[in-house]
Amino acid sequence: MSRYDELAEATRLLLEQELDAHRRNLEQSRRIDGELAQLDAMRKAAQSDPGTITSRQILGADTLWQGWLARKRQEMLRLAARARAQELMTLDRARLAFSRTEAAETICRDARNEAIRKARAREADAMEALGQLRIAMRRAENGNDA
């Protein structure tokens, strides 16, 4: 385990938090879009037969309802705009967190590769030293035999 593994784990956790926030904002946008679609369907249903005069129109309730519908739709459009802005903000944060996670994982991978390279170099040096020791021992044995 390298000294960078904790950094990589922390960045992964931050990435998950940012992705969760983005998912929540996406869900909120979908919910608002659904409510807008319902309002539009209600308006279309009310306007489906414009030739007949209903009791609501005679009493003026239709005008009140159309006013309420317009205000409600305006409010929903405002909420939709705010939700989309939050979506973009959380998407930017998630992208940044992803970049940080990738950078931390690259640092960890590079540190592991460097540790492996150093271990192999030490092993090669040890093998070289053993080879030199064997040569020296053979020379010493051959020198004692003569």
- In the chain (146 residues long), the average pLDDT of successive 10-residue segments reads 85 96 96 94 78 65 83 95 96 97 95 95 94 91 74
End-to-end alpha carbon distance in the chain: 54
Tokens of 30: 């979908």
Q: How many angstroms separate the CA atoms of 107 and 123, rounded?
A: 24
Residue 114 carries which side chain, given as an amino acid letter?
E
Predicted structure pTM score? 0.69
CB neighbourhood size of 120 (10 A): 10
